[in-house]
Copies of this chain bind each other. A is one copy, B any other.
Amino acid sequence: MDLIYKHEDLFAFTKTVFTKSGMNESDAALSAKVLLEADLRGIDSHGVARLSGYIRLKDANRANMNANWKVIHETPSTATIDADGGLGLVVANKAMEIAIKKAKAVGTGWVAIQNSNHFGIAAAHAMMALEHDMIGFAMTNASPLVAPTHSKERMLGTNPICACFPTANELPFVLDMATSAAANGKLEIAQRKGKDLPNDWVQTKDGLPSNDAHELKNGGSLLPLGGHKGYGLAAMVDIMSAVLSGANYGPWVPPFVAFLNPLENLPGNGIGHFVGAMRIDAFRPANEFKTHMDNWIKRFKESIPIDANQPVLIPGEIEYKTKKDRLLSGIPLNENVVKDLEALANSLSITF
């Protein structure tokens, strides 16, 4: 059963959890904002459902709530950041600010981040570009759950990519997708509903096909999107996020969960992200681009549907509608998430 919470209340609670855990006011507010953006957009697996996980990582000395990130290398259009073991929620946002500033100066800006932790949803960072009439990008590597094609070993994360494009009057185009066939959140939904998975989402620990939503617990792995191409995309994200920044890559990416230990002899620092911003008017006048984006969107929405009741959707459309709804009507939380947050509140002597 789901319980409904007001966005403002969840934000205030989340911010308090972060300040009580040693974060300064402004980083806590930013972390809460980024985390809540997931709940607002309907990406329930990446919102407050993860809050206690961040705190457990801090308790295990694997997330630094008092981090001092810094730029360790830069050119006019690029920078590399050492996140000092802090949360990606904060540093990816700061990195995006730097990317936007560089784009203002020289047309585009690109920032690679090492020594970080989970950054929430990619869209929360990439979409910062939109209000500046820029194209935004964000990607991250993640702890290994996905087997490359022909392997039964977990070597890659769900490694999401977000690319977003501003519009004139239509809702912006916001693609934010895992490069695995399905992210973990979708498996959890199938588990809760007791449903079988579609083909090609998971395989057994021996690399055999499976439709079991619990396959990961049995040592199985997630499968890349659409076979070997998804493996290639996930690998690209891993390399851009980690080999380029100096973070850990492939099977060495530290687990997001505190009860699993990182491997030894790591090749890098923490996990890695990559963000970027491209000024539209570095290519053509922004109003021209945005008018054509509206035209693009209208034409795609009018493309002939297979089923008249299911028109073509634009990437990001559902999330915008969900956010509008949830800002008005509140955010539904699964009862297990509620119990988890109540326990977290207890442990910090605050109320939920």
Decide yes or no whether A80 CB sits under 8 A from chain B: yes
A238 to chain B, nearest CB (A): 8
Asked whether, in the complex, the Cβ of B107 is within 8 Å of the Cβ of A107, the reply is no
Find chain B residues with CB under 8 A from A315 CB.
Answer: 231-232, 235
Consensus secondary structure, chain A interface: mixed
Asked whether, in the complex, the Cβ of B150 is within 8 Å of the Cβ of A306, the reply is yes
| CB 8 Å contact bits of A218-251 with B (1 = contact, 0 = none) | 0000000111111111011011100111100111
Instruction: Give CA–CA (A268, B292) in the complex, Å.
Output: 9
Asked whether, in the complex, the Cβ of A150 is within 8 Å of the Cβ of B312, the reply is yes
Asked whether, in the complex, the Cβ of A75 is within 8 Å of the Cβ of B106, the reply is yes
A108/B78 contact (C-beta < 8 A), A73-B284, A296-B249, A296-B250 known: yes
Asked whether, in the complex, the Cβ of A250 is within 8 Å of the Cβ of B80, the reply is no
Decide yes or no whether A65 CB sits under 8 A from chain B: no
Asked whether, in the complex, the Cβ of B163 is within 8 Å of the Cβ of A244, the reply is no
Find chain B residues with CB under 8 A from A259 CB.
Answer: none
Asked whether, in the complex, the Cβ of A249 is within 8 Å of the Cβ of B292, the reply is yes
Asked whether, in the complex, the Cβ of A239 is within 8 Å of the Cβ of B155, the reply is no
Asked whether, in the complex, the Cβ of B296 is within 8 Å of the Cβ of A239, the reply is yes
Asked whether, in the complex, the Cβ of B226 is within 8 Å of the Cβ of A76, the reply is no
Find chain B residues with CB under 8 A from A155 CB.
Answer: 299-300, 303
Find chain B residues with CB under 8 A from A233 CB.
Answer: 175, 177, 233
Selecting from A16-24, A30-38, A275-283, the interface stretch reads: A275-283
Instruction: Give CA–CA (A147, B80) in the complex, Å.
Output: 39
Decide yes or no whether A267 CB sits under 8 A from chain B: yes
Asked whether, in the complex, the Cβ of A303 is within 8 Å of the Cβ of B151, the reply is yes
Instruction: Give CA–CA (A80, B282) in the complex, Å.
Output: 8
With A151-B306, A244-B283, A251-B299 already in contact, 16 other A-B pairs whose C-beta atoms are closer than 8 Å: A77-B282, A107-B110, A112-B283, A149-B313, A151-B303, A153-B304, A165-B243, A173-B239, A175-B232, A231-B315, A238-B296, A239-B296, A243-B292, A246-B288, A249-B292, A251-B303
Can you give 29 contacting A-B residue pairs, CB < 8 Å? A73-B284, A75-B106, A75-B279, A75-B282, A77-B106, A77-B108, A77-B282, A80-B284, A106-B106, A108-B108, A135-B244, A148-B300, A150-B307, A150-B312, A151-B306, A151-B312, A152-B304, A152-B306, A175-B232, A175-B233, A181-B226, A225-B230, A226-B230, A239-B293, A243-B292, A243-B296, A245-B284, A250-B300, A251-B299
